[in-house]
Amino acid sequence: MGVEEEVEFHPKEPHRSIKGIANKVQSLREEKQLMDTLFQEVQEIGKLDRISKTWVGQMEDIARETEYVINKYETKLENKPTYVRMQNLVIEIILKMKTKEIRRSLEDASRRRKSFGLVQSLFRAESSLSKARILHRSMQPSLAVKQSSVVGFNEDVEVLIAKLLSDEEHRSFISIVGIEGTGKTTLARLIFDNNAVALHFRCRIWVSMCPNYTAQLLIDQVAKEAAKQMMEGQHDDVLRTLASTRYLIVVDGVETPQVVFDALKKTIPDMSTGCRLVLTSRHSKEEQYAGTRPFVHPLHLLDDKNSWMLFTKKLKVEVPTELTDIGEKIVVKCGGLPSQISEISDLLLDKGVTREEWSSVLEELNQDPQPWLVALWVAKGLVRQGEDEKPPEQVAERYLTELIDANIVQIAKRKRNGKANTCRLPHALRQLWLKNANQSSQANAEREKSIIRQVADHLDNNDIWHNHIHPHCRSTSVSLTNLYKDVLLFISFDSQEGNKPGQEVGSFLKLCISSNCLLQLRVLDLECVYKPKLPENIARLSRLRYLGLRWTYLDSLPSSISSLFKLQTLDLKHTYIHTLTSSIWKMQLRHLFLSETYRTRFPPQPMINSLSNLQTLWGLFVDEETPVRGGLDRLVQVRKLGLACQSMSLEPRKMQEQLDAVADWIMKLEFLQSLKLKSRDEQGRPWNLHLKSFGIHMKLTDMYLLGTLSTPSQLQFPPSLVELTLSHSKLKDDPMQILKDLPNLRSLSLLAESYMGTVMVCDFQSFPQLHVLRVWKLEQLEEWIIEQEALPSLRQLEIRMCPSLKMLPQGLEHVNTLLELKLTNMPLEINTENHNIPPYCEVYRDL
């Protein structure tokens, strides 16, 4: 292609040529500055190997060529009169070609560096050049959002920013794909927040997709944000205005990429402004979206090296040599997932750097959550209702307590209120029982009389059921009859990406049930299996007590599920099920977990009484149409209640009546132990809470309230409370005075806008049992006084984002039981070194 074919003349815009030449010269000057910085860093490295020296020599040649081009065209620009410069576009065209040649040489050098495996120290120096070169700016990319989260993402960031800032004028689509926990959102946020990206795009829009997000809601959110950034909130023809500028839209957490791409293309025309559309998704299939094949950037699990780097960086301490072996085992258990590695590292931060402590964490990776364990025992028929008519769940909890007291079961993690959260068998006992179980299994196999009672699919090729669940080709059901007819429990740990796991487990269940197998099944737990295809013949599992579908993202249930009359626990948390079928009222459920984020709704109740034994109702979405009065308020045996109330219309009176009905229902629940109640208006903002006296709630121990508390009766909390969280309560009176006499309170969290005053005082001998205190985002709080002998049992104190609090609480030095003080985003005026910190307290600060 000749020069004439590339030139696009603009006779009415002569200034554009001057600006283009100046920009390209400035870009090259920045490239040269960065290369000079590289050579300075190389000198600091010291001795290099032969290959590295050769590579540096090649980079020096590129630097000399860059300097020659800069000097040549700066001279031309300076020596020509204005009228000549305004008409001569050839300079700009040639300079553009020279710039591309230099960048191509740099890219080739970068590839050679990777191919020949040059020294790591040299890579760090070259990496700073490469990132900044891609950005076309004098500043380096701001990748220090969270340094720990950047490990393993260096090349991903380089590639994606190069795509974002490329010379391509037509709109381009970029898809970041990977399984849950690989860091898709983190990577997208890194490039979105990058300084050079921010300068390159006039408008940047971030949208986080919810399960119930429609294409129209997405477009509305984009238009709203664009109007705010470019038109001072005016929405007139905002999308056309957006199309005419250079914009970046990132859509995070997309389930249906094609729908999103098509919706954005249809609504926002492509005006060749160099705009970019980026989404993150679990779906990795490359398809042609919106008539264009997107650039798909897959995120893979971290290798051992990067996993260890992330682990050690998150720990913020050097791993002692004697702990390296056990640390590596912990990292291997994380399977290369950045989210899992970060979570485990955070856990280790709270423990001592000793072999004993790290060994305990390694064992915790094989623990069981206490609520799940209790429900499992009940479902398997191991626990029956007590002679004193107590429900089997309470009997099971008593059994567990006795096992803990006898050191047969060990608490692995406690909740903030001191209760057991997860537990495990002690290591020695576990090893002994596993050995005996293996010996027993081998003996049974030798006698060919093996009876399988439990199936736990760990994707292990050595398991006898592996080829049946994950076959290369579907076999006949002849071999299934004797193997699975006596199975009582089926658990799948197949959390692989895509539709295959759900299809395989669905086919296995359907085949087994058709072959008269699994008919004795009591527990079916498919947590994290993506959209399992439950067969219609599931109704034949008439003995099923527990059905776990948490984190499956399932969007519907087979209609025959209402025939599972003995089902006690149905877990639909983190699914896409919008409305339960009316047949739910016919079931004998004791525990029902719903998806609050997807706003799972309850159907109207038939005239007959039902669900009378329901103990747990968690995650229910309540709006104006929810059948509370005359429906849900008949469920008076509920012990654990979690409701998210939100108005979905512009009629506040109707929603206030619903909130009153909810308050009346709560008044009836004399057995209530846990309450989580949220109230939001039609725009999702915290709203009024309607609560009445807690006088009868003598068993209520855990409470989470989000919403405004306005009347004194709402602040008369029951003395049985062990854990209390308040958010957006907008209290005018000091909460420390309201709550100080609660005798059993062990954990108190005062979150955003829970208190609107300026002073808090913890009185003498107040909060006798409080162990954990969190104070977050109380923006008006200026002074906090702790009197002597107040908070006598406090172990952990966390203060976060209280900008008006310029000093630590006065009297904190008297709290000698304090072991941990966390300060997050607090004013720099707070200098802990100038305060008397309790003697055994560790201070953690995050600016």
Token representation of residue 726: 């308040």
Kindly report whether the global pTM for this prediction surpasses the value 0.75. Answer: no
Lowest-pLDDT range of 350-364, 517-531, 802-816, 830-844:
350-364
Compute the average pLDDT of residues 16-29: 56
| Sign of the torsion angle spanned by Cα atoms 94, 96, 98, 101 | negative
So what's the pLDDT on residue 432? Answer: 64
% of the chain exceeding 70 in pLDDT: 69
Evaluate whether 681 touches 646 at the Cβ level (below 8 Å).
yes
Is the pLDDT reported for residue 129 higher than 50? no
Domain edges within the chain: 1-137, 366-438, 451-563, 749-847
Is the pLDDT reported for residue 784 higher than 80? yes
Rounded CA-CA distance 124/309 in Å is 15
Instruction: Give the CA-trace dihedral at 541, 546, 550, 555, to 10 degrees.
Output: 40
What are the tens digits of pLDDT across the range 697-754?
Answer: 999 999 999 999 977 666 789 999 999 999 999 999 999 999 998 999 999 999 999 9
pLDDT band at 15 (very low <50, low <70, confident <90, very high): very low
DSSP three-state, residue 10 = coil
So what's the pLDDT on residue 259? Answer: 84
Three-class DSSP labels, 815-834? CCCCCEEEEECCCCCCCHHH
Specify the residue for token string 């709550």.
Answer: 739
Evaluate whether 658 touches 645 at the Cβ level (below 8 Å).
yes
Instruction: Count CB neighbours of 459 within 10 A.
Output: 14
So what's the pLDDT on residue 649? Answer: 84
End-to-end CA distance of the chain: 55
Rounded CA-CA distance 538/542 in Å is 8
Lowest-pLDDT range of 26-30, 172-176, 353-357, 822-826:
26-30
Instruction: Count CB neighbours of 38 within 10 A.
Output: 23
Compute the average pLDDT of residues 93-116: 60
Compute the average pLDDT of residues 444-463: 72
So what's the pLDDT on residue 587? Answer: 87
Compute the average pLDDT of residues 313-333: 79
Q: What is the DSSP letter of 688?
A: B
What are the tens digits of pLDDT across the range 585-642?
Answer: 888 899 999 988 788 888 887 656 678 889 999 999 999 999 999 889 999 999 999 9
Compute the average pLDDT of residues 477-505: 83
Q: How far is CA 565 from CA 569, 585, 587, in A?
A: 11, 11, 5
One-letter amino acid of 347: L
So what's the pLDDT on residue 50? Answer: 60
Query: 830 or 289: whose pLDDT is higher?
Result: 830
Rounded CA-CA distance 706/720 in Å is 20
Rounded CA-CA distance 752/738 in Å is 18
So what's the pLDDT on residue 522? Answer: 93
H helical segments located in 12-49: 14-45
So what's the pLDDT on residue 658? Answer: 94
% of the chain exceeding 90 in pLDDT: 31
What are the tens digits of pLDDT across the range 676-692?
Answer: 999 999 888 999 998 88
So what's the pLDDT on residue 589? Answer: 92
By DSSP bridging, strand 591-593 and strand 616-622 are parallel
512's enclosing H/E stretch is: helix 500-514
Evaluate whether 187 touches 299 at the Cβ level (below 8 Å).
yes
Contacts of 743 (CB under 8 A, 6+ apart): 719, 768, 769
Rounded CA-CA distance 156/161 in Å is 9
pLDDT band at 19 (very low <50, low <70, confident <90, very high): very low
Is the pLDDT reported for residue 26 higher than 50? yes
What are the tens digits of pLDDT across the range 190-203?
Answer: 899 888 888 889 89
Query: 445 or 644: whose pLDDT is higher?
Result: 644
Is the pLDDT reported for residue 420 higher than 90? no
Rounded CA-CA distance 330/345 in Å is 10
Query: What are the φ/ψ torsions at residue 724 (nearest 5 degrees)?
Result: -135, 130
Provide the strand spans (E) within 401-541: 410-414, 420-424, 454-457, 489-492, 523-525
Evaluate whether 275 touches 247 at the Cβ level (below 8 Å).
yes
Q: How far is CA 410 from CA 396, 399, 405, 565, in A?
A: 16, 13, 9, 35
What are the tens digits of pLDDT across the range 330-385?
Answer: 877 676 677 777 878 877 776 667 777 777 777 655 554 556 666 667 766 677 66
So what's the pLDDT on residue 355? Answer: 79
Rounded CA-CA distance 561/575 in Å is 16
Short-list 688, 693, 593, 584, CA closest to 638 = 593
Is the pLDDT reported for residue 445 higher than 50? no
548's enclosing H/E stretch is: strand 546-548
Short-list 310, 317, 257, 265, CA closest to 287 = 257
Lowest-pLDDT range of 57-61, 547-551, 653-657, 753-757:
57-61
What are the tens digits of pLDDT across the range 212-265?
Answer: 678 888 888 898 888 888 876 566 688 888 888 899 999 998 888 888 888 888
347's enclosing H/E stretch is: helix 338-349
By DSSP bridging, strand 759-762 and strand 523-525 are unpaired
Specify the length of the chain in residues. 847
| Sign of the torsion angle spanned by Cα atoms 628, 631, 637, 640 | negative
So what's the pLDDT on residue 138? Answer: 28
So what's the pLDDT on residue 82? Answer: 43
Lowest-pLDDT range of 82-91, 182-191, 537-546, 786-795:
82-91
pLDDT band at 107 (very low <50, low <70, confident <90, very high): low
Is the pLDDT reported for residue 325 higher than 90? no
So what's the pLDDT on residue 418? Answer: 66
Averaged confidence pLDDT in the chain:
78
By DSSP bridging, strand 368-369 and strand 410-414 are unpaired
Short-list 736, 792, 794, CA closest to 763 = 736
pLDDT band at 572 (very low <50, low <70, confident <90, very high): very high
Instruction: Count CB neighbours of 124 within 10 A.
Output: 12
Three-class DSSP labels, 387-434? CCCCCHHHHHHHHHHHHHHCCCCEEEEECCCCCEEEEECCHHHHHHHH
Lowest-pLDDT range of 61-70, 79-88, 196-205, 238-247:
79-88
Compute the average pLDDT of residues 759-770: 94
Evaluate whether 844 touches 823 at the Cβ level (below 8 Å).
yes
Task: Please give the radius of gyration of the chain, using alpha carbons only, rounded to the nearest integer.
Answer: 32
Measure CA 255 to chain center.
15
Evaluate whether 790 touches 768 at the Cβ level (below 8 Å).
no
Contacts of 776 (CB under 8 A, 6+ apart): 749, 750, 751, 752, 798, 799, 800, 801, 802
616's enclosing H/E stretch is: strand 616-622
Short-list 723, 717, 653, 725, CA closest to 688 = 653
